[in-house]
């Protein structure tokens, strides 16, 4: 049976979350960097693909968000990034997962539409498309089964999808299953992790229409666990909201680590160009004690990005440093 590499499910590590020593790897070769990009490992190399940034003005100044299709590759931590190809189309804000069979991309979208496609990066083989177009969702892999929760079907949606889908990679003719959704509010930009035979879902934001009919967020700090045999179970609430934290959340020394994330405290901060960034503390959920604690801080403020296990390190490649501002920085913390 194949063994899934992603989601840090089976790591038994001596290092504690508070002991993680973060340093920079070579930055992504783009001056602005990207948010909403896809990241994973393929043939031993770190891959970062797609994503968005603003090229002329900030969003509050009427700036244009541009989607990209570039695939960047870093073969070694001390190497140089190279452009190795393009995605089928510009894409961002979907789910990216690394498995024993390679690096795959699930859904995502652009300014006008969201996608159903599910495909391996660098391979011609495609997987069954999602039941509906979806972006801004969360995902992880447990026992070679992909799980996808929430998201929105269209870029202008004012409510999140109340969905929970699964695809068994062990079945060559597998199809997406629609499972009972999380009992909490439907959400976008949640954080997921697979550990101890269960899928864990944390935080995110619910959506509703404001007085002008535009999507407005309701910030969530709840936590849930799904076991394939017994279904959903409520977990203790998080100490704070953590929207768009790096996904899937790594598991270190029996604890799921929620790294930073947006707590919503500065959502209306003015002036916008002096926004202080997002929280830098790590929230740790102890799987055995079923309790929360804080486990140090990170030297960066990055959301709408990924957490990738590569060369014995947790790697956070790029992301949004503060509203409208992306970062090309790539941070890594050894696990030994």
- pLDDT given at position 12: 34
User: Distance of CA 273 to CAs 58, 149, 251, 265, Å?
Assistant: 9, 33, 34, 16
Which phi-psi region, left, alpha or beta, contains residue 136 (left: φ > 0; alpha: ψ -120 to 50)? left
Nearest CA to 6 out of 223, 233, 213, 310 is that of 310
Extended beta strands in 191-252, E state? 191-195, 198-202, 205-209, 215-219, 223-227, 231-235, 251-252
Tell me the β-bridge partners of 139: 148
From 3-17, 127-141, 191-205, 219-233, the region with the lowest mean pLDDT: 3-17
Please state, for a pLDDT cut of 70, what percent of the chain lies above it.
95
- pLDDT given at position 124: 84
User: Distance of CA 275 to CAs 12, 53, 84, 253, 268, Å?
Assistant: 38, 17, 35, 34, 9
Q: Per-residue confidence at 16, pLDDT binned at 50, 70, 90?
A: low
- pLDDT given at position 321: 97
The rounded Cα 152 to chain-centroid distance in angstroms is 15
One-character DSSP codes across 15-63: S-GGG---EEEPPPSSSS--BS-EEEEETTEEEEEEEEEESSS-GGGTP
Phi/psi at 279 (5° precision): -55, 145
Q: pLDDT per residue over 255-276, tens digit each?
A: 999 999 999 999 999 999 999 9
Take residue 336 and report the two structure tokens written for it.
């030994």
Q: Which residues of 276-291 are buried (b: 16+ CB within 10 A; e: fewer)?
A: ebbbebbbbbebeeee
Q: What share of the chain is helix, strand, coil (3-state, %, to 5)?
A: 5, 45, 50
Q: pLDDT per residue over 279-329, tens digit each?
A: 999 999 999 999 999 999 999 999 999 999 999 999 999 999 999 999 999
Q: Per-residue confidence at 1, pLDDT binned at 50, 70, 90?
A: very low
**Residues 6 or more apart in contact with residue 298 via CB below 8 angstroms:** 22, 259, 260, 280, 282, 316, 331
Give yes or no for residue 137 having a pLDDT over 50.
Answer: yes
Give yes or no for residue 113 having a pLDDT over 80.
Answer: yes
Nearest CA to 93 out of 72, 65, 120, 73 is that of 65
Taking the C-alpha atoms of residue 64 and residue 52, their distance in angstroms, rounded to an integer, is 10
Give yes or no for residue 50 having a pLDDT over 50.
Answer: yes
HSE-CB for 133 with a 13 A CA cutoff:
14
Task: Starting at the earlier edge strand, list the strands of the sheet with 102-106.
Answer: 95-99, 102-106, 118-120, 126-127
Task: Determine the length of the chain.
Answer: 336
Gap between the terminal Cα atoms of the chain: 27
- pLDDT given at position 331: 98
pLDDT mean over 143-153 = 97
- Please state the CATH superfamily assignment of the domain spanning residues 6-334 in this structure: Kelch-type beta propeller (2.120.10.80)
> What does pTM read for this prediction?
0.93
User: Distance of CA 327 to CAs 21, 29, 263, Å?
Assistant: 20, 11, 19
Q: Per-residue confidence at 3, pLDDT binned at 50, 70, 90?
A: very low
Give yes or no for residue 118 having a pLDDT over 80.
Answer: yes
Could you give the 3-state DSSP secondary structure of residue 243? strand
Give yes or no for residue 219 having a pLDDT over 70.
Answer: yes
Take residue 243 and report the two structure tokens written for it.
């929207």
Phi/psi at 84 (5° precision): -115, 0
Give yes or no for residue 15 having a pLDDT over 80.
Answer: no
Q: Taking all residues of the chain, what is their mean pLDDT, rounded to a whole number?
A: 93
Peptide bond into 271 cis (omega under 30): yes
pLDDT mean over 44-53 = 98
Give yes or no for residue 247 having a pLDDT over 70.
Answer: yes
Taking the C-alpha atoms of residue 7 and residue 216, their distance in angstroms, rounded to an integer, is 30
Radius of gyration of the chain (CA): 18
pLDDT mean over 37-55 = 97
**DSSP letter (8 states) at residue 273:** G
């Amino acid at each position: 049976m194949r063994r899934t590499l992603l989601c840090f499910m089976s790591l038994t590590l001596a290092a504690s979350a508070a002991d993680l020593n973060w340093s920079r790897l070579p930055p992504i070769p783009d001056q602005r960097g990207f948010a909403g990009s896809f990241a994973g490992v393929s043939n031993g190399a770190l891959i970062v693909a797609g994503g968005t940034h603003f090229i002329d003005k900030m969003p509050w100044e009427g700036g244009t968000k541009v989607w990209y299709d570039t695939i960047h590759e870093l073969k070694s931590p001390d190497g140089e990034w190279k452009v190795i190809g393009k995605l089928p189309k510009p894409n961002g804000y979907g789910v990216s997962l690394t498995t024993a069979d390679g690096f795959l991309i699930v859904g995502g979208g652009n300014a006008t539409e969201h996608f159903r496609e599910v495909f391996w990066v660098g391979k011609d083989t495609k997987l069954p498309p999602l039941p509906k177009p979806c972006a801004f969702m969360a995902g992880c892999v447990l026992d070679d089964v992909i799980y996808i929760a929430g998201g929105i079907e269209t870029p202008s949606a004012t409510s999140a999808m109340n969905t929970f889908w699964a695809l068994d990679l062990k079945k060559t003719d597998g199809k997406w299953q629609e499972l009972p959704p999380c009992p909490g509010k439907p959400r976008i930009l949640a954080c997921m992790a697979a550990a101890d035979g269960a899928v864990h879902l944390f935080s995110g934001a619910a959506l509703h229409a404001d007085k002008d009919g535009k999507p407005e967020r309701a910030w969530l700090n709840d936590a849930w666990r799904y076991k394939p045999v017994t279904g959903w179970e409520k977990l203790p609430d998080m100490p704070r909201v953590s929207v768009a934290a790096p996904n899937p959340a790594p598991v270190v020394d029996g604890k799921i680590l929620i790294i930073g994330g947006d707590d919503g405290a500065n959502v209306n901060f003015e002036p916008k160009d002096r926004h202080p960034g997002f929280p830098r503390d790590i929230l740790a959920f102890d799987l055995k004690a079923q309790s929360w604690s804080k486990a140090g801080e990170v030297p960066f403020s990055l959301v709408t990005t990924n957490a990738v296990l590569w060369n014995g390190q947790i790697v956070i490649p790029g992301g949004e440093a503060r509203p409208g501002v992306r970062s090309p920085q790539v941070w890594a913390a050894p696990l030994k």
